[in-house]
Amino acid sequence: MNPEALRYTKDHEWIGEEGGVYVVGITDHAQDQLGDITYVELPGEGDEVSAHQEVATVESVKAASDVYAPVAGKVAAVNEALETEPELVNKDPYGAGWFFKLEGVDAAALNDLMDAAAYKQYVEESAE
C-alpha cells in the first residue's frame, strides 16, 4: 500500500482501502521502535471490533505491544503468513506485513484519523 494514501492513528496503526475492504497494519515507525518482531497474535475472522479496541498483539525482542482497530468493522481476513513469518512486519510493514482486513467500515470514520503529513508531523513532535 502507498503510505501517502493511508490514514493513521496516534497508536501507530495505518488503514487503507483495497477492493472494498480496509487493510490494517502498523507503521514503519512502530516496527522500527519495536525491533525484530518475533510473534504476532491476530484477531479471529468474523470478529466485530470497535474503534480503538485492542485486536492484535505483536511481540519483539524489545517489547510486546497491542494493535488497535483504527475504526469499527468486522474482521474479514487475517494475515496468516504472520503466524510463521512475523518478520514480514519488519520487512514490509505497508505490504506483506499487514495484520487484518475490515469490512463494514463507515468510510466517514477515516476522517477522524491523520493523513500521512499529519502523522509524520505527529511522529516528529513525539520524538522531541
The reported pTM is 0.96
Contact 31, 93 (CB under 8 A): yes
Look at the chain and report how many structural domains it folds into: 1
Q: What is the pLDDT of residues 31-71, one digit of tens each?
A: 999 999 999 999 999 999 999 999 999 999 999 999 999 99
Residue 126 predicted with pLDDT over 90 = no
The enclosing domain of 118 has a CATH number of 2.40.50.100
- CA proximity to 42, closest of 3, 74, 78: 78
* Cell representation of residue 99: 495484520
- Asked if residue 99 lies in contact with residue 39, where contact means CB atoms within 8 angstroms, the answer is no
Does residue 34 sit in helix, strand or coil? Answer: helix
97, three cell numbers: 506485513
Those residues whose C-beta lies under 8 Å from the C-beta of residue 35, and which sit 6 or more positions away, are 60, 61, 62
Domain ranges, residue 66:
3-127
Q: Which of 19, 20, 42, 122 is nearest to 89 (CA)?
A: 42
